[in-house]
Amino acid sequence: MEDALKSTSGLSGKRLALRELRLVYTDALEEHLADGTENSKHSACDIGRWAIAQEIGVTKVVAVHHECVGRILFRLAGSVSCKEGLRRAGDFLAEALSPYEQAHRGSSETIPALRQMNERMEREIQRIALAVHDEAGQLIYAVHLAIATAAEASSPVVHQHLAEIGAMLHRAEQGLRRLSHELRPMILDDLGLTPALQSLAERVSRTTGIAIEFEGSVDHRLDAKVETALYRIVHEALTNVVKHAHAKKVTIELQRDHTMLKCLIRDDGVGFDPAGVGKGQRGLGLAGVRERAAAVGGTLQIKSEPQRGTELLVEIPLRKTTCRSEYSSPMTTPSFARP
Ligand SMILES: Nc1ncnc2c1ncn2[C@@H]1O[C@H](COP(=O)(O)OP(=O)(O)O)[C@@H](O)[C@H]1O
Ligand SMILES: [Mg+2]
């Protein structure tokens, strides 16, 4: 069975994986129903682990189990009683699902740690943004004053040099101010997610020439952690478009209903194979996006194929605490037209 599992792990496509699951599950379950030993039960656990790796959901495994049980019991009628067969089948299913339970337990321990890490990072970013804005800003102001004083008593030639130094300093000051705003956009704190994302999209579009369309809005303020997470996610997605996609057009769709905040970022660029990301040194940015989404209880789906553009869909469930209490009415925005 291991060989069968190994040989299928290289195959792509959910349907192929599901077909393989049916075959492997049928063989292993039949063996277990016939002899009912611990040994044959262990293969159920291997199958569960393999199914997780193939991103086959728990409900699919249960459905495959039900498909197989009746067929096999019918075949084995006579050699094992129906009651005993059902008991063994139940044990087998529990074993096949145990890796799902372990994975769930693992992720519920990881998410609070991720949340804490993001909060610490966010505080640190805020501290750096303030230091860049205030401390460096004040220092530069002091240098401007010193240049002005020196210029008063200097010859026309030195005066000219000092004016040039002043102009360079001014450019450095503008760069630092831009950096501090990028690190922690005031607009996000003051006006919320929609204006902050619109402003980000406009800035990226202006500096790169890529057409960026922004659709939908979230009228009401959300939990600051959710707003910050989504802002940083869209920022990374746009950075990736600029760095890797060679795209002409990007669409950002933001939608919120009573229970879910959804954001779709789609580009028409060169695309890539998402299965290759995360191997070796690549993929820190997208891994960060996934972690940021997970830290606020959300998920990330990546749809991309070489030469066919890229689509990131982030879904964040909205609990009562993720919406700021002073706002309550729901809103409607365009529904996602998914290809
Ligand atoms: N929008 C995109 N279009 C094309 N390729 C992309 C896009 N987003 C990500 N990629 C590919 O996925 C890889 C991983 O992205 P990411 O995790 O953000 O890491 P990094 O940007 O540091 O390379 C990139 O190196 C690139 O090959
Ligand atoms: Mg990146």
What's the pLDDT at 283?
61
What's the pLDDT at 321?
52
Number of folded domains that form the chain: 3
CATH number, domain of 8, equals 1.10.1240
* Same domain flag for 143 and 69: no
CATH number, domain of 317, equals 3.30.565.10
Q: Which amino acid appears at position 156 of this protein?
A: P
Atom of ligand 1 nearest to the CA of 270: 4
Among the bound ligands, the one closest to the CA of 312: 1
Is 338 a member of any domain?
no
* Cβ-proximal residues to 81 (8 Å cutoff; 6+ apart), any chain: none
* Same domain flag for 142 and 67: no
Q: What distance in angstroms lies between residue 26's CA and the mean position of ligand 1's atoms?
A: 40
* Same domain flag for 124 and 67: no
What's the pLDDT at 278?
55
Task: In whole angstroms, give the CA distance from residue 168 to residue 294.
Answer: 43
Is 336 a member of any domain?
no
Nearest CA to ligand 1 atom 2: 245
**Final residue in a domain of this structure, among 55, 88, 111:** 111
Is 267 a member of any domain?
yes
* 262-314 per-position pLDDT tens digit: 999 999 999 998 877 655 545 678 988 998 899 899 999 999 989 999 999 99
Which stretches of the chain drop beneath a pLDDT of 70? 1-12, 277-283, 320-339
Atom of ligand 1 nearest to the CA of 309: 3
What's the pLDDT at 279?
54
Domain range enclosing 24: 2-111
Nearest CA to ligand 1 atom 13: 283
Q: How far is CA 18 from CA 9, 12, 43, 60, 285, in A?
A: 11, 11, 17, 8, 30
Q: Which candidate, 90, 63, 99, 119, places its Cα nearest to that of 232?
A: 119
What's the pLDDT at 8?
45
Name residues contacting ligand 1 (CB within 6 A): 240-241, 243-245, 267, 269-272, 277, 282-286, 310
Q: Which candidate, 36, 52, 53, 30, places its Cα nearest to that of 97?
A: 52
Is 155 a member of any domain?
yes
Among the bound ligands, the one closest to the CA of 305: 1
* 122-137 per-position pLDDT tens digit: 888 878 887 887 888 8
* Same domain flag for 27 and 64: yes
What's the pLDDT at 246?
96
